[in-house]
Chains A and B, each alone.
Chain A
Amino acid sequence: MHAVFRPPVNWRHRRFRYRLVVWRCLNCGAVHHYATSICRRCRSNRVAEDKLPDRARLITYTVVKNPPVAFEKQAPYIVGLVEFEDGTRLVAGITDCDPEELKPGIELEKVVRKIAEDGESGLIVYGYKFRPVITRSH
């Protein structure tokens, strides 16, 4: 099969994947994970760069037991739906916990983790995941 992780693609998305840099519609507030000049929700062209916060709440989650290519060795792993303060939702890997510890509504914090690697010789992909909060609020 074709390569799963192409360097230019991964590179292009790095700011979103590392820091949750998004493009937010100044009209309706919808966020986009890609650079855009048209809001996907309201079609406004007033879109500006923004950053999602590092904290979010868990809405629901599941476990991937049948993994896709490049994730074989990580299975089983948790993925969850999280919601930020502004209502933006994101599906992300949930790490450093067992499914039993997760309850809807718990607070999670963003970390950057190794997402996958393209075999022994290919690219290593890093990106956001969420985990139960260990840092202090300040």
Chain B
Amino acid sequence: MRKVYIVGASLLKVDEQWNQSIDSLVTQVVDGLSEVRPWKIDAIYVANALGEILQSQANLGAIVAEDIGLAGVPALRVEAGGASGAAALLAGYQAILSGLADTVLVIGVEKLSDATPEESVFLSSLSERYDLLGFQGVTEAALAAMMYRLYLERYELPQEMVAQFPVLMHEHASKAPHAQYQFKTTLENVLSSPVVSPPLRRLETTAPADGAAAVILCSSDALPTIQHEQVVELAGAASSTDIVSPFDREDPLKLSAAARAFYEALARPGLSREQIKVLEIHDSYSILANLILESIGYSAEGASGLDAKNGMFDYGGKVVINTFGGLKARGHPLGATGVYQAAEIFLQLTGRAGACQVDGAKYGAMISLAGLGSSAYALVMKEG
């Protein structure tokens, strides 16, 4: 049976890259893939969420193909909000499994620093229904805050059961050279940072960032013909959708799309949750870490905070989450984020994660969301 491999991954430091454009970010990140030879690409998928608004640039397929000297190669831009990167990876995976492509370049690129703070809030809310919410100034952070409040009330928990996740993320990012925020923080700092929308605090959210990440996928047929230093199998990939507003779902605290995507991705290679030792999750708001971990079954409902407190998601625990700091601390360059997650798992499974290395990890998985779980993507990777 045809299989899909990742033969190279590259990522740039997530930062406010004032001097870099989409074009220059893309060329830099692709330069980091030079170990892969020959440079023969059948298709390019460019993940980007906001280029046409912030840089007045659409048609990023052709633009990026030309930037990297691959004009002539089929290229397509993929947008799925914060899950654009994962969606592009899924598209690449499908292209290879279909037999129509043997090598696919997936690039995630986003430049958010060009926005004013108010534009950033506006843009970060675009994945929710604008005609219902955005038009009246309801931000995505406000929706996350209401989920957060419902969560604390339902399970009668203190806020630290949610707010400790950013502390863990900053701890992990402190050893990650490509992370946006490499400082460590404390629960006290998180809980005394400015309120964004109560109970949500600034240190429980992400900030505008620029970044680019890229991976090369290839088929099992093409693998012998490609020079590469490391390889990881992209063993499963799946996605699902949900009712867009969390409050229209049967249970606003259950991320069903994430659960469906995750289990379908695991089922393809026949893996179980327990085999996953590295897990990248979409913690654009602290509360999403709790909800994802509970929705996909790592923790009982309302128990993820306690599990985290007991070390279940840290080094030495059952599964290490967000080994480079996750969206919270590595940073969340929106459309590029999913590709960062994949590149980070690639680093972990090839033993190149440096100080962030999870020892003995054979399997890794990622979950990426658009909005507050209305779209979910999951990818599962296996040591090559």
Q: Does A92 contact B (CB under 8 A)?
A: yes
In the assembled complex, the CB of B330 is this many whole angstroms from the nearest CB of chain A, namely 22
| Segment at the interface with A among B39-47, B119-127, B257-265, B331-339 | B119-127
**A interface vs B, CB < 8 Å?**
1-2, 4-5, 9-10, 13, 17, 33-34, 40-41, 59-72, 74, 77, 79-81, 89, 91-93, 99, 104, 115-116, 125, 127, 129
Q: Does B290 contact A (CB under 8 A)?
A: no
Task: Pick the residue among B125, B137, B150, B194 that contacts A77 (CB under 8 A).
Answer: B137
- Contact partners of A125 in chain B: CB under 8 A: 135
Interchain CB contact under 8 A, A93 and B137: yes
Interchain CB contact under 8 A, A70 and B133: no
Query: How far is A5 from B137 in the complex, measured between Cα atoms in Å?
Result: 12
- Contact partners of A64 in chain B: CB under 8 A: 137-139, 141-142, 197
- Given the known inter-chain contacts A62-B146, A115-B137, A116-B137, please indicate yes or no for A69 contacting B119, CB distance below 8 A: yes
10 new A-B pairs (CB below 8 Å) besides A40-B243, A64-B139?
Answer: A41-B243, A62-B197, A64-B138, A64-B142, A68-B121, A70-B137, A74-B137, A115-B136, A115-B137, A116-B137
Query: How far is A40 from B199 in the complex, measured between Cα atoms in Å?
Result: 31
Interchain CB contact under 8 A, A33 and B137: no
Interface centre among B136, B139, B141 (most CB of A within 10 A): B136
Query: How far is A60 from B148 in the complex, measured between Cα atoms in Å?
Result: 10
Interchain CB contact under 8 A, A4 and B131: no
Interchain CB contact under 8 A, B248 and A2: no
Which residue of chain A is the closest to B249 with respect to CB atoms?
A89
Q: Does B100 contact A (CB under 8 A)?
A: no
- Contact partners of B197 in chain A: CB under 8 A: 62-66
Q: Mark B55-82, 1 if CB is under 8 A from A, else 0.
A: 0000000000000000000000000000
- Contact partners of A80 in chain B: CB under 8 A: 146
In the assembled complex, the CB of A90 is this many whole angstroms from the nearest CB of chain B, namely 8
Query: How far is A80 from B328 in the complex, measured between Cα atoms in Å?
Result: 26
Interchain CB contact under 8 A, A62 and B122: no
Q: Mark B166-205, 1 if CB is under 8 A from A, else 0.
A: 0000000000000000000000000000111111100000
Which residue of chain B is the closest to A125 with respect to CB atoms?
B135
Query: How far is A33 from B283 in the complex, measured between Cα atoms in Å?
Result: 30
Query: How far is A59 from B150 in the complex, measured between Cα atoms in Å?
Result: 9
Interchain CB contact under 8 A, B122 and A4: yes
In the assembled complex, the CB of A63 is this many whole angstroms from the nearest CB of chain B, namely 6
Q: Does B384 contact A (CB under 8 A)?
A: no
Interchain CB contact under 8 A, A91 and B132: yes
In the assembled complex, the CB of B64 is this many whole angstroms from the nearest CB of chain A, namely 23
- Contact partners of A116 in chain B: CB under 8 A: 135-137
Which residue of chain B is the closest to A129 with respect to CB atoms?
B136
Query: How far is A60 from B350 in the complex, measured between Cα atoms in Å?
Result: 46
Query: How far is A2 from B118 in the complex, measured between Cα atoms in Å?
Result: 13
Which residue of chain B is the closest to A104 with respect to CB atoms?
B153
- Contact partners of B53 in chain A: CB under 8 A: 1-2
- Contact partners of B136 in chain A: CB under 8 A: 79, 92-93, 115-116, 127, 129
In the assembled complex, the CB of B119 is this many whole angstroms from the nearest CB of chain A, namely 5
Which residue of chain B is the closest to A78 with respect to CB atoms?
B142
Interchain CB contact under 8 A, A65 and B137: no
